Amino acid sequence: MSAVGRYFRTVVHLRPRQVWTRVARRVVRPRPSSEPAPARRAPSASLLRPITREDGWLTPARIRLLNIDREFAGGMDWRPSDVPLLWVYTLNYFADLPQCATGGDERPGGGGRVGRLSARQAASLVDSWIDANPPGTPDTWDPYPISIRVVNWIKWVLLLENGGAGSLAGAPGPGLPGDRILDSLASQLRFLERRVEFDIAANHVMANAVALTIGGLFFGGEEGDRWANRGVALLFHELEEQVRDDGGHYERSPTYHAVVLEQLLDVLNLWDVFPEGVPREWRDARPRLKGKALAMLEWLEAMTHPDGGMSFFNDTTFGAAATRDDLVDYVERLGLASERREFRGVHRLRDTGFFRLSSADGRTVAVFDAGAPQPRYQPGHAHSESLSFELSRDGRRFFVNSGVSTYEPGPERLEQRQTAAHNTVRIDEEEQSELWASHRCGRRARVSEAGERDGWAYAEHTGYRFLPGRPRHYRKMRVADSSVEIIDNIEGVGEHLLEWFFHVHPDVTARVRDRIVELFLDGRAVGTMTFPFGTSAAIVDGSWHPGFNVSIHNTFVHVVLRVSLPFEFHTTIDWI
């Protein structure tokens, strides 16, 4: 019965379109088309260098993706069975293909990481993919990999031509596969056009819209016009819903926010290459797209630690998206006016539910989660982390959420999403939000109030209202030059078990001495944590996941109390 209830609490939030699209996908599968590609549009400008990747091909037979290396000496396998599905998807994205366009030389625009394969070696891999993956192949022809791959192939084709390697049309010479690539691109776009992921929604539909837009800009004729019309209309529709007024993507994950931002910058790049391909009714819409992109960049700045890396909220980790610096560089190459903003005091991201708190001297920065799992109908990348925080001091991370190392269903995935993996409070060993499988959420926390007052950021969530006594967690936080204060009020009635979790970065050592927690960085005492009189804390082994398939030992400060509600708890961090 509990499983039935959990399933009901999950599906009750879905939109009707999600349900009937999922049913239709199981019943009707579009017939792939092998018709020749439509004619290409003539470019009006050269493609500017897009963002390049650290991960990718090391040799024509060896690749590193998501911190896993694979050798394909015996022949290429585009669907290896001994790696996670996300790794298979990433392999089929061809994310580092554009940087291989110049065969290891500097690309137009200067700078950037150099492709490890020559243009012809990369073309041979594309050719092998076409041979090994006929239309409709499971996994490799799923809509999301198609969406990412189509954009990367098109950028690669254009950069090949920019670099003088020759057009892929006709017979450009030995080693380049010619029209087969264009025909495959068109076939993938036709398939995608009939498989837009309205069942999954969120960033998947955004990726579908971007691929159709860029495919429609690249190709001409009736098909190209149709793809452009549908893609651009869908893109702007999704932008209005997915990018909030504070500039944040509504899934509240800095990683997926950065993914979507890069996609928008790619559209702006291709928009300038093929301006005549933009549907007439949308040709005045470029400033809107630019405005959204710049607002997203400012949001990402607010969610970035002083070390330049993203804060780990919801499904966020390193290496899964472009960095802040990469995105800033791309914005500058595209000639978009952008000024780096300095944040001081309390900066609220109202629509996505975050605060950035900075001390007056700029040495301490915290990001405070005052939100809940979103969007309501697709919180697949949400964690049970309401009222959690991350904190840096003097450019170094001190308190961290645990990050993400896997999307594979199982105990590890579940542990990384649960309350105890975040710097917040757990009540009666239950979860704020009912997370299950890999990307499912049943009952979920809701934030009932949030705001700022006199230098404090505060919020309350009702994720434990299902427990006896209907507990509510209210937290407020203040960052000063010499200290950080956190006050937790647990409202409700009755006796409950309360737990506090404070995860420290692997470079930080926490030790308990006389009921005070001492904090050390690189062997040097830098601060202390104090709690209400009589409170004991323990230091417990944990793990931090700064990348997929990466686990690094760290520790967390754990406080456990059995109390009668209402109850107030003060935490003070003093810097030495």
Predicted TM-score of the model (pTM): 0.95
CA angle 407, 411, 417 (to 5 degrees): 60
Q: What confidence score (pLDDT) does residue 308 get?
A: 97
Mean pLDDT of 67-86: 94
H or E segment to which residue 440 belongs: strand 440-441
Pick from 569, 410, 403: nearest CA to 498? 569
Q: What confidence score (pLDDT) does residue 34 get?
A: 82
pLDDT top residue among 199 and 120:
199
Q: Which CATH architecture has domain 2-333?
A: Alpha/alpha barrel (1.50)
Look at residue 165 and tell me whether its pLDDT is greater than 60: no
Look at residue 26 and tell me whether its pLDDT is greater than 70: yes
Q: Which two tokens mark 51?
A: 């963002």
Q: Render the burial of 543-568: b for 16+ CB within 10 Å, e for the rest.
A: bbbbbbbbbeebbbbbbebeeebebe
- pLDDT grade, residue 342 (50/70/90)? confident
- Give SS3 for 538: strand
Residue 26 CA to its chain's centroid (Å): 28
Residue 354 pairs in a beta bridge with: 349, 369
Alpha carbon distances (Å) from 42 to 39, 169, 176, 275, 467 = 9, 13, 21, 10, 64
DSSP letter (8 states) at residue 377: T
- pLDDT grade, residue 115 (50/70/90)? low
- Which option is the CATH number for 345-575: 3.40.50.300, 2.70.98.70, 1.10.240.10, 1.10.8.60? 2.70.98.70
Distance between CA atoms of 36 and 297, rounded to whole angstroms? 39
CA atoms within 13 A on the CB side of 370: 29
Q: What confidence score (pLDDT) does residue 105 get?
A: 41
Q: What confidence score (pLDDT) does residue 571 get?
A: 98
Distance between CA atoms of 423 and 383, rounded to whole angstroms? 12
What pLDDT digit, counting tens, does each position of 466-512 carry? 999 999 999 999 999 999 999 999 999 999 999 999 999 999 999 99
Q: What confidence score (pLDDT) does residue 163 get?
A: 75
What pLDDT digit, counting tens, does each position of 247-262 carry? 999 999 999 999 999 9
pLDDT top residue among 176 and 284:
284
Mean pLDDT of 401-407: 98
Mean pLDDT of 397-426: 98
pLDDT top residue among 163 and 222:
222
- pLDDT grade, residue 170 (50/70/90)? very low
Q: What confidence score (pLDDT) does residue 337 get?
A: 77
Mean pLDDT of 16-21: 95
pLDDT top residue among 110 and 142:
142
Show me where the domains of the chain are located: 2-333, 345-575
Q: What percent of the chain has pLDDT over 90?
A: 86
Mean pLDDT of 550-561: 98
